Amino acid sequence: MKKLEGKVAIVTGGASGIGLGAVQRLAEDGAAVAVADVNAEGAQQVADEINKNGGKAIAITVDVAKEEEVKAMIDKTVEAFGRLDILHNNAAWGPMNDKGIPEMDVDMWDAVMGINLRGPMMGCKYAIPEMRKVGGGSIINTASANGKVGDYERTAYSASKAGLMSLTRSVATQHGKEGIRCNTVLPGLIVTPATRRKFSTELMELMEEGNLTPYVGGPEDIAALVSFLASEESRYITGQEINCDGGVLVRAGAGAIMKYVRDKENN
Ligand SMILES: NC(=O)c1ccc[n+]([C@@H]2O[C@H](COP(=O)([O-])OP(=O)(O)OC[C@H]3O[C@@H](n4cnc5c(N)ncnc54)[C@H](O)[C@@H]3O)[C@@H](O)[C@H]2O)c1
């Protein structure tokens, strides 16, 4: 029997990058998966591919910043598969104009918080009652190494990801006795359509140099951690922040490396 046979999962931002990797891995592990994304066509393509390969998936169009759509995402999943065991809050926005504080576009700040922090909170709000009905569940929030450090820019993004770690601890504390675990995964640089859009090959190489590993990770590296956290193998782990970043944050001078990279990017 597969590790997640009989379990039902939702992955937000499941049409691309890290979310896509998680969808594929959870489906391989036997879970029925709701591919939830603002990109309706992309989500449908991913779900079709899973079903073609013998898995079970549905596509759900959702903007995680909108409460009624988040509620509908949970309802549609339970309607389709009968229960909910796993929620991977992964969709996020990292706008290019997210720089320093004096020049902060406050509407942009609110929009980042709406997607990256309020979205996952609303996911938890509507998922927890469903998880209670089945005696527990696992919620996995995708933050970022940026949520743990100060940076020269990405102010709103970093604050949203730090907030997400606090949300994780609240959910873990308030619902642990109900069998609901909640953990944060913190990717470092992961090669996805988003990072390919934002960084040149030269910058990727510089960032690779900043890692302790001889390579940069892919969505499959985060997916392996998500699969572990979704399963009973991790039953004693809750409220935690787990870095999956090639060790970049423990390296002395990592901040200086990032500044050099960003300065090159901006010039
Ligand atoms: N790639 C990295 O290096 C990296 C590093 C650290 C953290 N992260 C985090 O990993 C997650 C995924 O990033 P990625 O690199 O795979 O990005 P990506 O752009 O490849 O995928 C993001 C997906 O989220 C969807 N999405 C965006 N806004 C949404 C919304 N409001 N509602 C629903 N869906 C929405 C997009 O349509 C897309 O399919 C994000 O939380 C990001 O902050 C990524």
Q: What angle do CA 230, 233, 236 make, to 5 degrees?
A: 90
Provide the 8-state DSSP code for 2: -
Distance between Cα 13 and ligand 1 center (Å): 6
Q: Nearest-CA neighbor of 178 among 140, 122, 131, 141?
A: 131
The SS3 call for residue 213 is: coil
Distance between Cα 114 and ligand 1 center (Å): 14
CB of 140 closer than 8 Å to CB of 229: yes
Q: Is 130 in the pocket of ligand 1 (CB under 6 A)?
A: no
Buried-exposed string 184-223: b where 16+ CB fall within 10 A, e elsewhere:
bbbbbbbbbebbeeebeeebbebbbebbeeeebbebebbb
What residue ranges define each of the domains in the chain, with the CATH number in brackets? 8-191+216-250 (3.40.50.720)
pLDDT of residue 251: 85
CB-based contacts of 93: which residues, under 8 Å, 6+ apart? 111, 112, 115, 116, 157
pLDDT of residue 32: 99
Q: Is 140 in the pocket of ligand 1 (CB under 6 A)?
A: no
Q: Is 65 in the pocket of ligand 1 (CB under 6 A)?
A: yes
pLDDT of residue 263: 80
Q: Is 14 in the pocket of ligand 1 (CB under 6 A)?
A: no
pLDDT of residue 198: 84
Q: With a cut of 50, which residues of the chain have pLDDT below it?
A: none
Q: Is 13 in the pocket of ligand 1 (CB under 6 A)?
A: yes
Catalytic residue among 126, 152, 157, 260: 157
Active-site residue, 157 included: yes
pLDDT of residue 259: 76
The crossing angle, in degrees rounded to 10, of helices 106-113 and 155-175 is: 30
**Substitution site in 11, 12, 16, 222 for ligand 1 pocket (most atoms within 8 Å of beta carbon):** 16
pLDDT digits (tens, 9 = 90+) for 163-177: 999 999 999 999 999
pLDDT of residue 254: 73
Distance between Cα 89 and ligand 1 center (Å): 10
Nearest protein CA to atom 40 of ligand 1, as residue? 92
How is residue 209 written in tokens?
A: 């140099």
Distance between Cα 47 and ligand 1 center (Å): 17
Helices assigned H by DSSP within the chain: 17-28, 40-52, 67-81, 106-113, 119-133, 155-175, 193-198, 201-210, 219-230, 254-266
